[in-house]
Each structure stands twice: as structure tokens, then as C-alpha cells.
Structure 1
Amino acid sequence: MGNSHHDPVVQCRPAWNAGKTVGAKRPLTQKQIWAVRFFLDREGRVRDRALLDLALDSKLRGCDLVKTKIGDLVSGTDIRTRAIVIQQKTGKPVQFELTADVRASLLAWFEHRGGTIHDYAFPSRVDHAGHLSTRQYARLVDEWVEAVGLRRAEYGTHSLRRTKASMIYKATGNLRAIQILLGHTKIENTVRYLGVDIEDALPLAERTEI
């Protein structure tokens, strides 16, 4: 049963989002990405560098990223240039590219980590047969952004999912391509996810002459 807004107790109670940043987390800029990479390389955090790079290239939700297995990313002795995973939320496959720098950081991590194609790419440190938890992934992202002077309230795991998608959208304006890359079932979800509004649409229209 709900509470009346006339209830003095409710009136004195702070809003659930008081003092919090609500809404979509910001994507990272190219400069911020390299700042985080520099921090991780300087600290010798091979696993975290590979995790960051895979998150950026794959554009996967955190729940799918942490469940990625070595076999999803490796073919023979090489890192795949393209990979496919089944999304937990939709049950549908999504394909993503693995660029040269990302393949290099993944290879460095797998050589350090060892394991078989059936093992999780990023195992739990508590249960070695399990995978890194989404909560721990979120804690790591908080740590990374704070290390380069960003506010953790404004960035999170969805920042990594949105980063490359936002860059591709700004370069091309192709919402359908972004929908496919993010694995969204509806284009409306992609529009909301990217925060597309009239300020984005008008410059695209202005660049097109008939």
C-alpha cells in the first residue's frame, strides 16, 4: 500500500535518488580510455587491461561479458578477429569485432592465465571454476575511473558498453548498425540507450543536401 504525499513522515523522508546521478552513465572519450589503459599498464594489471579492452570492443552487457569463455575468443593459437556470444537477456547471438590492440591484450592475459577453451576468460578469485561476478566487475570499473580522476557516480559498466557504440553513431549516424552491434531487439531501445535527441538528429540532417 502506498503512502500519501500529505503524510508528514513521507514529506521528511529524502528522495531515493537524492544526491545521486540518475540516468544513463556517460561513455568514455578516447582520451579517457587511454588514461585508464596507461594506469592499468603502469600497475601491471594484465587481467584488468584485457577486461577493459574486451568490454569496449564487445559492447556486451556486464552479465554476458563476465561469462565469456576462452573458447569464445580463441581459435587455435590465435585470438579471433570476430566472436559471437549468446546474450543472456534476449537469448539471441550478438557478434563483435576484436581489434589488433584488444587481441594483443587478450593474448597477454591468456598466456599469463593459462586454462582451456572451456574455462571462463575472467575467473572468480574465490571460486576458480566460476567467473568474475558482475558486482566485482562494477567495483573494478569504479576503481579504474577514479584512478584517472573521473567521478564514479557518472561512469559505470554501461559506460564501457556505450563507449564504442556512441563513437560509431557520432561518426556514421547509423542507428540500425548500432542496434545490431548492441544486440537490441528494438531500434527504440537503441535510441534511448544512446540518448539520441533533436540535437543529434539536426546536425545529421544539415550535412545532407538534396
Structure 2
Amino acid sequence: MIKLYLAEDQQLLNTALAGILELEDDLTMIGTATNGQIALEQIATLQPDVALLDIEMPGLTGLEIARRLHEQQPQVKVIILTTFAQTSYFKQAISAEVAGYLLKDGPSDDLIVAIHSVMAGKTVYAPELVVGLTNQPQNPLSQRETDVLQAVANGLSNKEVASQLFLSDGTVRNYMSTILSKLAASNRIEAIQIARHNGWL
């Protein structure tokens, strides 16, 4: 029997999906939550075989839970279930070494197959996300430029970025000028949006 845990913040979908999966002879739902923090605590206690996680939830996101489980309970297989076909989310999920990443608009049969596949040691990713990742433009920013833009995206001023990255104020300004030029952005907000859209941040 495969023990499942479901974290989904939409109560109706949570209940419906849990009911569908319980119909399978070899699947049992041992817990559900609509809050990410509660989900992480319960997963630690209940020890499911597979955790099905939505991305956007109150408390903790599904990606944050996935990262913590990878570090603390790597035996728990994680499948991300989301409406977001965003390359940036997909990249974060891959870095957290999730076993599966599926879109919610897919048929429930695909999820059931995915659960059995990850239990067999396979990874299951939505095909359209894999295609999107391979077709994605290359990041024109150097690692240092990416670090600077990430710090700015986190709300730091030039002076704070300089302090955090051990740079001078002038060097940070030079980096930002180069970043704007490379991304063809008119200001730092647009640069951040472009970088996030392409999954570079």
C-alpha cells in the first residue's frame, strides 16, 4: 500500500483529489492540509511514501516544503501539483530534486501513473515544461551580475548590495548598467521582471 499525503490550499480540490486517489486499491491517503507549515509538520510525523504538494499555499509554499524534505526526509517522494507552467518554478523544483512535477489540468489517471512511477524510482515531469526548459533562452548575465540583480530583487539598495556582496557602490552601479544593457531593460524593475520571466532569478 502506497501512503500519500496531500497539501492543497483549495479545500474543494483537496477533498475531491483525495477521494479520487482513495479509490485506487493500492493507494491510501494518510493526511491532507491546506497550509504549508502544517503540511510539513504532519509529513514529518506521518512519514508518507509520496507527498503531493501544491506550490502556492499559506505558511510555506510547496517548493519550500520540497527543499526541506529533500534535506531532512529524502525518502519521501515529492510530486508538485500546480496550475503554474512557469519555467522558474520548474527549475526550482528540479533543484529541490522533486520526483514529479505535474499540471493540475491533466487527467487524474496521469497522476495515478506518476505516483506508481516515482515509487519505482522514476521522475515524471509534465512534457510541456520540459519542452519549455529546452527552448528557454540562455541567461546573458554572468553569475556575479545575477547575484547583484537577485539582491536588488530582494529589495536591497545599491549600498546594501555593495555591503552584502563585498563590492564598492560604484561597482554595483556598473553592474546594474551592464545588466540593463544586456536585458534591454529601461530600469531595474523591468530587468527583474525579464529575469524572473525567463527563470534566471
TM range (shorter): under 0.3
Q: TM-score, normalised by structure 2?
A: 0.25
Q: TM-score, normalised by structure 1?
A: 0.24
Higher relative contact order by CA 8 Å / sep ≥ 6: 1 or 2? 1
Higher strand residue share: 2
